[in-house]
Amino acid sequence: MRKFSQGLSTTALALTLSLGAAATAAAQTSFAFGSLSAQTQDHATIFVGESAALSGAAADLDTKTEGRLSSALKDAEFDGKFGETLHLYGMTPLTRITVIGTGDEPLTLRQIRDLGGHAAQASDNDKSLSVMIDGLNTDVDETAAQIAMGYKLGSYAFTKYKQDAKDPKRTVAFHSDDTSASETLYQDDLVYVAKGVNFARDMGTEPGKSIYPESFAQGVRDLFKGVPGVRVQVMGLSEMKRRNMGALMGVGQGSIHDPRLIVVTYMGGNRGDDPVAFVGKGITFDTGGISLKPNTGQWLMKSDLSGAAAVAGTVYAAAQRGARVNLVGVMAMAENMPAEDAIRPGDVLETMSGKTIEVMSTDAEGRLVLSDAVTYVQQEFDPSLLINIATLTGSAARALGDDYGAIITRDWDLTEHMMRIGKEVGEDVWPLPLNENHFKAIKSDIADIKSTAGSPGASIGGAVVGTFIDDDRPWVHLDIAGVDWLDGSTPTTPKGHAGWGVRFMDGVVRDLEAE
């Protein structure tokens, strides 16, 4: 089918140009940081705990409204449970006060960010808003910066294709008594994490018509334009052929859009230190190939590039804040299409490692593209830790739902360590097993391994990828098929493509920096 690719190149260019302009409502909002006394907007958001007494900024607003605030809270029987939200009108001289409950336990980092998300989702597109951050029961520093990050994440919306999208210019001011420290932390650091997440969300939401391997690569080039210390390389077919990447090429061969291997390096750590590698599955659309998926919900497979998008977002956040670590991000991009020259069930592919894989189902394509990508990154970079991330199996999604990414490792301490990181940053992971039986199950009659072997599906997928990981290499396999898409909102993740993994992997990077 490659015969058509010549004629497509100009269209490709036009589409990639419009990609950069993926306008989100959140992008129209400008954030400001101010002192508590500088509250000027007529819409204010305040945080109130379970004890009825108002203190600090809330008490000041009560004085300003001549007691209207406290009597309204009493009349509404507001009990301050975490996340409970109440809009109060007629708060002369203010137009509206939104009250958000904080509970009565000390607040964790993740809860502080959630408060920002609650504030965003309650904001109702106000033209301007003052978020008053005072007297929170927490050890977390620079709470205004963390709340602003939560707000940015929670206010994400993909409005590009809506004719009547409201794109108001808005200002949200975060008022606290640590104005300048918060502003610095937000502007030099946290905003880039949120932007990395939102980039991943854009990529997973954008239809497959406009996101294919080369346009995704162009999106990555655009993302990193002007970001210091980052090198972006995009490998095409001829180089893949030279390196014998038969699995990645095999998955992509049914599509008019050729596969790409995108390699992003950021060496902000000590010279000569082995980097940490992030490897993402980037299937720009997964039809299942010849093993065609049933049609219900197939549209969701436009987001089967979540792993790759999260890798880009993570390296972006680290580079922008100047993290003192060496990182390499690898994105294995292909479109999985049924076609006359697509791979067939039963075909045998030769991977870059030399090992052969019998393709039992062309719908188990993620493990195929990852096999070449992890081989490549180990041969070229010898990483000290390799994390691969992929929307790999419905099995992981059925086991863990929306709340936990599946983690598979060969080292329980590493698993526990990753669980702690996920809990802190608000992207939880939960372990699934990997043992000798899973490796035995993928023995093939005619090749070195076969690509599927029934259940347990997530562990079998892990075993296929694990076949290509050097025995002594610290390795984390993340299966995010359940968490990458939300049917309902959480405070910092609106319904839809979650951009899951940027915050988790960013947590891993910070953990390394702290060592």
Q: Which residues are catalytic?
A: 293, 367
Distance CA 192, CA 314 (A): 9
Under the criterion CB under 5 A, does residue 335 sit at the interface with Zn ion? no
Q: DSSP letter at 158?
A: B
Under the criterion CB under 6 A, does residue 481 sit at the interface with ligand BES? yes
CB 115, min distance to ligand BES, A: 30
Distance CA 42, CA 51 (A): 26
- Residue closer to ligand BES (CB basis): 117 or 482: 482
CB 353, min distance to Zn ion, A: 21
Type of residue found at 23: A
From 72-80, 154-162, 192-200, 282-290, span contacting Zn ion (CB under 5 A): 282-290
Distance CA 492, CA 484 (A): 14
- Residues near 70 by beta carbon (within 8 Å), at least 6 away in sequence: 54, 62
Interactions with Mn ion, residue window 334-373 (CB under 5 A): 363
Under the criterion CB under 6 A, does residue 286 sit at the interface with ligand BES? yes
From 27-35, 54-62, 71-79, 281-289, span contacting Mn ion (CB under 5 A): 281-289
Query: Residue-wise over 226-238: b if at least 16 C-beta within 10 A, else e?
Result: eeeebebebbebe
One of 183, 286, 335, 358 touching Mn ion (CB under 5 A): 286
Interactions with ligand BES, residue window 368-407 (CB under 6 A): 391, 393-395, 397
CB 315, min distance to ligand BES, A: 23
- Residue closer to ligand BES (CB basis): 205 or 395: 395
Q: Where are the beta strands (DSSP E) in 367-458?
A: 385-390, 405-409, 429-431, 449-450
Q: DSSP letter at 36?
A: G
Structure tokens at 444: 């093939």
- The one of Zn ion, Mn ion, ligand BES, none whose footprint includes residue 54, by CB under 5 to 8 A per kind, is none
Under the criterion CB under 6 A, does residue 467 sit at the interface with ligand BES? no
Helices 143-154, 109-121: axis angle to 10 degrees equals 50
Q: Quickly count: other Cβ atoms within 10 Å of residue 295's Cβ.
A: 8
Under the criterion CB under 6 A, does residue 479 sit at the interface with ligand BES? no
Under the criterion CB under 6 A, does residue 501 sit at the interface with ligand BES? no
Interactions with Mn ion, residue window 362-421 (CB under 5 A): 363
Element (H, E) at 10: helix 5-19
CB 336, min distance to ligand BES, A: 7
CA atoms within 13 A on the CB side of 335: 23
Under the criterion CB under 5 A, does residue 479 sit at the interface with Mn ion? no
Size of the site for Mn ion (CB under 5 A): 2
Under the criterion CB under 6 A, does residue 442 sit at the interface with ligand BES? no
Distance CA 234, CA 241 (A): 14
Which residues are at the interface with Zn ion (CB under 5 A)? 283, 286, 304, 366
